[in-house]
């Protein structure tokens, strides 16, 4: 479906981003990975995807808090693949604290990685998408881009901002064959969430099953984690020609969480 296309997926060495990157490789797209991890493990991942799917897979360790590093990553992808057709802004970080105790450096870091990096990367690839009159931008926000929870002020602000950024970009480029949409997933069982479960078990002295049902998924009506594969499939659809008229959308895949 996507043979000959190339994609940058940020935060793609684990979790949601890796699932999305795998899905693109399976569909024949060249993929630029970005994120943290052991160099040997990342090399192994690249080799696996290239061998299994016959695509080119590259890696950039770009610091998404650095606009210069972000521009360098876009240039690297363009140099390796010749172009950037699709951009998935997925990287994100989190910190939980009451507002009056929220560390200012954590606020700045969360806004930089979760929101500003998307702006800088979109800015870096948009001219070529407009010139070719085809492009797909998918920003991975969160159910917290549509609703809020206490003690997550920076994360909620950044994710709401990402939804707004996506809509503004979509309107600017609608006549150039470029779409820009936002995914707003509920809880997904990623390594980050696994650590949150363990922390809650230690903090409250309750079982992992109870943490999942009564804490994490208390407001998720379906009482099941969103699967990475579901998000990847939706991302692929948004990047297909069938979704050419789908733009400026903020799509909740949250098991009903935002209706609580």
Positions marked catalytic: 155
Place of tokens 């998404």: 64
Residue 207 neighbours by CB under 8 Å, 6+ apart = 201
- Residue 216: burial class (beta carbons within 10 Å; 0-12, 13-18, 19+): middle
- Cα angle for residues 103, 109, 110 (degrees, 5° grid): 90
CB 27 within 8 A of CB 2: yes
Residue 239 neighbours by CB under 8 Å, 6+ apart = 2, 5, 7, 86, 136, 138
- Measured CA to CA, the distance from residue 238 to residue 217 in angstroms comes to 27
Q: Which tokens go with 22?
A: 């795998």
């Amino acid at each position: 479906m996507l043979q000959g296309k190339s994609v940058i997926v940020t935060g793609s060495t684990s979790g949601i981003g890796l699932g999305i990157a795998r899905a693109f490789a399976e569909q024949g797209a060249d993929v630029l990975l970005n994120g943290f991890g052991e160099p040997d493990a990342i090399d192994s991942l690249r080799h696996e995807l290239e061998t299994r799917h016959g695509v080119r897979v590259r890696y950039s360790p770009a610091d998404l808090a650095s606009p210069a590093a972000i521009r360098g990553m876009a240039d690297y992808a363009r140099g390796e693949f010749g172009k950037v057709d699709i951009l998935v802004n997925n990287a994100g970080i989190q910190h939980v604290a009451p507002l009056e105790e929220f560390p200012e450096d954590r606020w700045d870091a969360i806004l930089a990685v979760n929101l500003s990096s998307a702006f800088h990367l979109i800015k870096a690839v948009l001219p070529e998408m407009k010139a070719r009159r085809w492009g797909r931008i998918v920003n991975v926000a969160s159910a917290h881009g549509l609703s809020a929870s206490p003690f997550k002020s920076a994360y909620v602000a950044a994710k709401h901002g990402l939804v707004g950024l996506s809509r503004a970009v979509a309107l600017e480029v609608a006549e150039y064959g470029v779409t820009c949409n936002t995914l707003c997933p509920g809880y997904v069982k990623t390594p980050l969430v696994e650590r949150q479960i363990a922390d809650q078990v230690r903090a409250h002295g309750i079982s992992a099953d109870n943490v999942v049902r009564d804490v994490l998924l208390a407001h998720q009506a379906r009482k099941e984690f969103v699967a990475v594969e579901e998000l990847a499939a939706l991302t692929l659809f948004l990047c297909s020609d069938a979704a050419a008229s789908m733009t400026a959308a903020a799509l909740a895949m949250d098991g009903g969480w935002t209706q609580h």
